[in-house]
Amino acid sequence: MVENVKELLRAHEGLKREVYLDIENSSWVPEEVVKAMLPFYGERAYGNPTLTHKLGWEAFETIMEETKKVANFLGCKNVEEINYTPGETEANNLALIGTAFSKKSLGKKIVISEIEPISVLHVTELLQKYGFTTTKISVDREGLINLEELEKIVDKETILVSLSAVNNEIGTIQPIKEACKIVKEKNSESIFHTDASDAYGKIPFKVQDFCVDLATISSYKILGPRGIGVLYVKEGVGVERILEGQIGTQKLWPGVENTPLIVGFTKASELAFQDFRGNVNHMRKLRDKLIGGIFERVPDVKLNGPKGEKRAPDNVNISFLRCEGEALTIELSLSGVYVSSGSACTRRLLQPSHVLVAIGRRFEEAHGSILMKTTRYHQEEDIEYVLDVLPKAVERLRGITGTTRVD
C-alpha cells in the first residue's frame, strides 16, 4: 500500500497547474486565517482559559471575544449558546446522543431523512442499541424532504428531529424553516437539530430565523482550520454531556479550549461573511460554468441534485455513465485536478452513496459520480482548466472499459 502511494505521488511530480475542488473532505487554510492563528501558539493567550494567571485570563478574554463574533454570524442570543467541539462529527454526536439521553423519559423516537450525513446516520444506529427508534423521511429525485410525510411521522413520542439544512453530497437546500414549524406544531417538546455545515457561509442562515434548537457548524467547510466545529444549543434546551473530563469555559464539551483554532474559525467566518453576497454569487457563477461546461463537452452524464436556486452555490455532483468514479478521481489527480468520488467506496464501504441511492440513482450511476465544490478563491481559469482535463480523462477511461454508449 505504502509503495503504491509513493508511486502515485511520483507520478504527480512536475505538475504545472493544480485545482483543488475536494472541499467536502478537507480544505486548505487561507493565509489570512493562518496569520490570525499563529500568535496564539506562542506569543499570546496560550494559557488555559480556566486558570487564574495572566495568560489564562488572556485566553479567556480571547475566546469570549471570538465567540461573540461567531454568535453574531449565527444570530444567537448570547455566547452561552455556542459550544466548541473538535468538528462536525463530534458536534452531531453531541447533538443526537446528548438530546436522546436528556429526553429519554419523554419518548424514544428519532426522525431523520434518508440522506443525512454519516455522522448522523451512524449515531442513530448506535442509539437503537439503547432502545431508541429511528424513522427516516423519504426524499424526491432532487433530494428534497417530503414535508407531508414528516407531518404524519412526528408524534408525541418524537423527542428529536435531525435534518440537514443543505445536503453535503448533492447540495439540496432543504425547507428547514417549514419543517421546524411542522415539528413544533405536532410536538412542542421535540428538539429540532440541523447539520448546517454546508449552509453556513453558503446560504442565508440565522438560527432564530429558522427556529432550530440545535445547529452543527464545521470550520473547514468555510476554509477554516480542521479540528474545530460548533454546536449551537438554544438557550433553555437540555443536552447532556457525552464526555467527562476537565470543564473549561463551556459545559458541554470538556477539556482545554483550543484558542488558536477558535481564532482561525472566527477569522474564516469573517472572510466568508464580509462580502457574503459577492462570495455566494462568485461560487454560483463558477458552479454553473462547471456544470454547463461538462454537459456541453461530455456525453452521458447526469446531474445529481436540483438545479438553480434550490442547490447550494458551491456544489457540483455529476454521474459519468460508463465510468468508475474512483478511477476518474485518480485520472484527474494525475493532471492536478482534485475531486472526490460520490461513491461511499471512499469510506471503505462496498455500497454506493446512500444519498444517490435515495434519489433513485442506479448502482452504476452512483459509482460513476464525482463531487466538486467551488470557493471564493477559485477563478474562471481554474474551471476552464478542469473543463479541458475532465473530458479527456472520461474519454480515456471509457475507452479502457470498452462499454457501449448509453441512450
Phi, psi of 100 (to 5 degrees): -55, -45
SS3 343: coil
Q: What is the pTM of this model?
A: 0.93
Write down the H helix ranges in 104-175. 118-128, 147-153
Q: Which amino acid is at 270?
A: E
Question: Cell 424513522 belongs to which residue?
Answer: 135
* pLDDT of 68: 97
Bridge partners, residue 311, by sequence: 172
For the 2-21+276-401 domain, the top CATH level (class) is alpha beta
DSSP codes of every residue in 4-66:
HHHHHHHHTTT-S--EE--TTT-----HHHHHHHGGGGTTS--S-TTSSSHHHHHHHHHHHHH
Q: Cβ–Cβ contacts within 10 Å for residue 255, how many?
A: 13
Integer Cα distance of 271 and 224 in angstroms: 10
Integer Cα distance of 270 and 276 in angstroms: 10
Catalytic residues: 345
Q: Residues 374, 286: contact at Cβ < 8 Å?
A: yes
Give me the residue spans of the domains in the chain. 2-21+276-401, 32-273
Integer Cα distance of 327 and 89 in angstroms: 28
Strand (E) or helix (H) holding 172: none
Integer Cα distance of 272 and 208 in angstroms: 20
Q: Of how many residues is the chain composed? A: 407
Strand (E) or helix (H) holding 392: helix 380-401
269 Rama class: left (phi>0) / alpha (psi -120 to 50) / beta: alpha
* pLDDT of 403: 54
Integer Cα distance of 175 and 349 in angstroms: 30
Q: Which residues contact residue 361 at a Cβ distance below 8 angstroms, ignoring those fewer than 6 apart?
A: 302, 304, 319, 352, 369
Q: Nearest-CA neighbor of 82 among 221, 266, 220?
A: 266
For residue 321, give the C-alpha cell: 455513465
Equal fold, 2-21+276-401 vs 32-273: no
Per-residue pLDDT of the chain (407 residues; tens, 9 = 90+): 555 666 666 667 667 799 999 999 999 999 999 999 999 998 877 888 888 788 888 989 999 999 999 999 999 999 999 999 999 999 999 999 999 999 999 999 999 999 999 999 999 999 999 999 999 999 999 999 999 999 999 999 999 999 999 999 999 999 999 999 999 999 999 999 999 999 999 999 999 999 899 999 999 999 999 999 999 999 999 999 999 988 778 889 999 899 999 999 999 999 999 999 999 999 999 999 999 999 999 999 999 999 999 999 999 999 999 999 999 999 999 999 999 997 544 445 557 899 999 999 999 999 999 999 999 999 999 999 999 999 999 999 999 865 545 44
* pLDDT of 404: 47
Question: Under CATH, what is the fold of the domain 32-273?
Answer: Aspartate Aminotransferase; domain 2 (3.40.640)
